[in-house]
Amino acid sequence: MSWFLLSLVTMMSWGTADLFYKKGTDEDDPYSHLKIAVWVGLVMGLFALIMLPLTETSFSVSSFLTNAVKYSPASLAYIISMVIGYAGLRYLEVSIISPVQNASGAFSMIVMVIFFTVTGRMGSFWDEFSVIDIIGTALIVAGVVALAIVERRLEHPQEPAGKKPNKYRFSALALLFPIAYCLFDTIGTAADGVILDGEAGLGLGEIDVLVLYGFTFLLAGIGAWIYMLIRTKKAYNPFVFQEKDKAFAALFEEGGQIFYVFAMSARPMLAAPLIASYCIVSVILSRIVINEKLKASQYACVITVIAGIVLLGISEGLSA
């Protein structure tokens, strides 16, 4: 499967995960984001265990610790960004938080281009990217950034009658969540681009990265569970029916992660901004499923991103 199709599958999976993250978020529960982290840790840990026999390197305790150190910049940045994102969902709608967060795709691409150029691991810029690649990527980045700007200008919705207003909702403080997510996700994605690069990588294969990330997130999930136990004096039970949305979110998150590592291994600098446009899927699904309203300017942004995706698809087809 080409990097383009891998990126599209990742985009669809993570966009769907965003929807379930929002559905599984309780604005009145201060531990909602930690409960989501528990579920993601459980699912990723389970898949890491299943994939362990498929790894390219021997996973003795010493080799695991060595590889974990190699991958720690990416895994820690991702975990921090995701937990920040889960917390932000308590204060902002999916259609607002997702576009702001996913400007990281453009930033990580820039970081990777600079890194590979400075280290001499990238040839001529025009040898790496065709004109169609550049135009398509520019449209995707412009559409995502424009969508973030449009969403910031939305009017504040009216709170339901009898509901106590959330004092941070739609405020500048609330926007710190997606901005912080964007920063840490940029670090994680750029690190992945370097680690997974076929020539400049750190010797970790795609399955190795999935296993390392899965076990690392499992530890983070266990830590979140223990923290809630200490603070609330009550053990959180994730296996109850009302937590099903968190379970679906975690499954789609892991599904996207599997395709993501292979896409980033093949063409990291093009895959990163394309995958980051999964916010478009989030916006469309939030409109269809949970009735978040969209304006004409938002639809224009969506069309711009789709046009960019089509151009990247055309470029991939021409180069095949």
Write out pLDDT tens, residues 111-165: 887 877 777 766 665 667 788 888 988 888 888 778 767 765 654 444 444 544 4
Q: Which residue has the higher pLDDT, 203 or 258?
A: 258
pLDDT at residue 205, rounded to an integer: 79
Residue with tokens 């026999």: 53
Q: Would residue 159 count as lying in a domain?
A: no
**In a domain? residue 161:** no
Q: Is residue 264 part of a domain?
A: yes
Percentage helix, strand, coil, to 5, in the chain? 75, 0, 25
d(CA 52, CA 64): 11
Angstrom distances, CA of residue 296 to CA of 98, 101, 147, 289: 18, 21, 11, 19
Count the Cβ atoms, other than its own, within 10 Å of residue 317.
10
Whether 16 maps to a domain, the answer reads yes
Residue 216 lies in a domain: yes
Q: Report the share of the chain in percent with pLDDT over 90.
A: 25
Q: What is the pTM of this model?
A: 0.80
> Do 275 and 141 contact (CB within 8 A), yes or no?
no
Q: Which domain holds residue 187?
A: 3-154+166-319
Lowest mean pLDDT among 14-23, 52-61, 79-88: 52-61
160, part of any domain: no
* pLDDT of 171 over the 60 cut: no
Task: Tell me how many domains the chain contains.
Answer: 1
Q: What does the pLDDT average to over 170-184?
A: 67
Instruction: In whole angstroms, give the CA distance from residue 69 to residue 158.
Output: 48
Which of 69-83, 106-120, 147-161, 195-209 shows the highest mean pLDDT? Answer: 69-83
Total length of the chain? 320
